[in-house]
Amino acid sequence: MFTFFLNTYRLFLLLSGFFILSCVGSNEMSLMAPIIVQATAKHTASLIFLHGLGDTGHGWSAGFEEIRAPHVKYICPNAPVNPVTLNGGFRMPSWFDIRSLSFSGSEDEEGIKTAAERIKSIIDEEIKSGVPSDRIVLGGFSQGGALALYTALTMEKPLAGILALSSWLPLHKTFPEVLKENKDIPILQCHGTADPVVAYAFGQMTNEVLHKLCSKHEFKSYSGLSHSSSPQEMRDVREWISKVLP
């Protein structure tokens, strides 16, 4: 079963990375500005959402346009293009290197921490623009959700919430020692039971870890959902956002 997951993931990475790099040169991609869905009313809150491996912020920005709240600004940054070990060193948009599909396997600790600092700088820019940190949600899908979890839980500033879709908690063995300000903020973790890329079992293990670390963690499962989102999941996300960013 693990071999099936590994081969499926490698094929997914290869096809998605080839498609994106065939459309945009690697140097351009690393310089792409975040995709932003502006608030349509007075801007009082922000949601920063990180895409998955081999993707860009465009797809998720379109998704948030469908469920957006008028007072919320949605920011979808683009990952730089980097080689991915799990895919034979093929270069694609990636927040950090992925070396293993095992929950206890080797991880790119330096890359994860460097990426987290980059995301923290985006959060700082929002704070400088006048949005308090506790009016900012940090979220992501797959690798982006993993980075969102690690970044938010190691921050020294309080956030409004964490949104993690089809993802996992990286460097989980370093917790609870590295857990800082955001152990008591709302976390919504969603995962499809038929996910062949980030296995549902990884979501369950992350659920167990977060349940011990954080007091307001919620885990939602979606029967039959693969490595993607669904209308029901997005409705749940919209309802959760309305609660944490009223």
**Between 27 and 1, whose confidence is greater?**
27
Report pLDDT for 197.
92
CA count, 13 A, side-chain hemisphere, 195: 25
Select which of 142, 166, 167, 229 is catalytic.
142
CB 75 within 8 A of CB 49: yes
Instruction: Establish whether 43 is a catalytic residue.
Output: no
Instruction: Establish whether 124 is a catalytic residue.
Output: no
CB 144 within 8 A of CB 95: yes
Helix (H) or strand (E) holding 202: helix 200-213
Strand-pairing partners, residue 141, are: 165
Who's near 134: CB < 8 A, 6+ residues apart? 158, 159, 160
pLDDT in tens, 172-223: 999 889 988 888 999 999 999 999 999 999 999 999 999 999 989 999 999 9
pLDDT > 70: percent of the chain? 87
* 215 vs 11: CA distance, rounded Å: 38
Name the residue among 155, 187, 197, 154 with its Cα closest to residue 172.
154
3 state DSSP class of 209: helix
Instruction: Establish whether 195 is a catalytic residue.
Output: yes
Length of the chain: 246
pLDDT in tens, 36-69: 999 999 999 999 999 999 999 998 999 999 999 9
Instruction: Name which of 72-76, 88-92, 109-113 the model is least confident about.
Output: 88-92
pTM: 0.87
Select which of 51, 191, 217, 227 is catalytic.
227
pLDDT bin (cut points 50, 70, 90) of residue 1 is: very low
CB 152 within 8 A of CB 122: no
Q: Is the dihedral of CA 6, 8, 11, 15 positive or negative?
A: negative
